[in-house]
Structure 1
């Protein structure tokens, strides 16, 4: 877009002083003729830019003229370019846009800061996706974005985390939140604030109905309220398990957040692979402990008795499902 190019031209002149039309054309990836047209456009907009002919000539701003668009310190420039490695923009379909925007900022930085920023983008990698988080959400985030940005209601089918049941909801969205690589839709459901994990949404459709959000309430307010509810809620269900040492590292990677105390060492140098390690876990509801079945006979629940009974029932159902006799 021309407006983007004019801004990039202005930043280049502000950061580097006088530059030749050929140099500017190469940096902006346009023709020399386009550079001169853009200079005329800046001048018509009131920017004090001028050209000088001759061997030492070029295009420059009147001495002393500056905008407040840049002025980044070296640390600010380095911090900015860490964004190039963030998956958040790609999830939202903005991966190419953020790369293009930061390249324009890079071109406008002074030489001393440009090399430092470039080094950060090549030496620091941000991977916000946790290990073993499962498949990519089946619903494109673009559908939820459309509801958020057009202020329309959203209908969806959702698999609840606490019991695995599928439910239908009509929601009034506030926005999307990326929490440690996991996307959440924040919305009102029947006037009450709720959050929905994007990777549990099975189907979604934007309606023609306008949202009916609570007045004067912003996304950050609702998110803070929901987050406090999770952070401050007591973990009422204590679960004691024993885990075979040979899978302890894998188990801790998946359930470290559920541990009631500091994690034990997963090193197996002096331990028998079949040795048992006893751990205490905390879950908000009993049903949240069902994934322990995925470890088969390498994890045994010792207490509470009602969880042992529930897991035994589920195991019998599974065995019956696959019984070939």
Structure 2
């Protein structure tokens, strides 16, 4: 009887610990997502414009300067900031919470006693699985963000609104999409988002954990490398992520910003046929320039928020 009571107590204690860890990952991911947006939003706007309408802009600097001249910093470079924050908080909170949970599942499958002992490949598998859950929350908010960022170009392309851009806020735009297409309209580009996210986060977390491992001194574990090396590892993870997923991201941006109904693979083939392979990498330069400080900020914010919360709770 005592043994049975002890087992029940142990299970309850383990469940509470898992819930606590999941909540801490969720909150730390949310804080990291907000930090990422404010650091990277201007160049993310440039990226989306160049991906969606590559023939309008000569390059990154041209796109940046034209956006500032025509719409200013707030309405131009920081267009879609609110949905970006919602998207990144939703994505990163669920991503990191799911990542922590998937790490524990992977550890059980591979017979690893502690999550801290997972190899970089095993962490990459956990990231691959976690990305599926974050995609379901990311797709609608990413769609709103892309539409807001490319609003001027879309109206010019469709010859609507004349010379004046009819700005629509995120909530009004959301209501319009639901009215026209129903809830399913918010998930336009879901397939291309999944294709982008799951393999992307395999390399994202794999590169991040491997870099942390390589940067650790012989007597250190990955969690003890300090904030500077954590930022370097985050920057490496983000760079690898975007190099791998960029063609899928171009397709996703066009589907979402232009409200296309073309299947992702058919659109990718059409882009290659009519514009060349280079079109699938239009906007890569501002993305990589943005990614280095943005993902470095994301990971250092996430890791140190997580450590602070564990100190408070434990």
Q: Larger Rg: 1 or 2? A: 1
Please state which structure has a larger fraction of its residues in helix.
Answer: 2
Please state which structure has a larger fraction of its residues in strand.
Answer: 1
TM range, normalised to the smaller chain?
under 0.3
Q: Which has the higher contact order (CA 8 A, sep 6+)?
A: 2
TM-score (norm 2): 0.24
TM-score (norm 1): 0.23
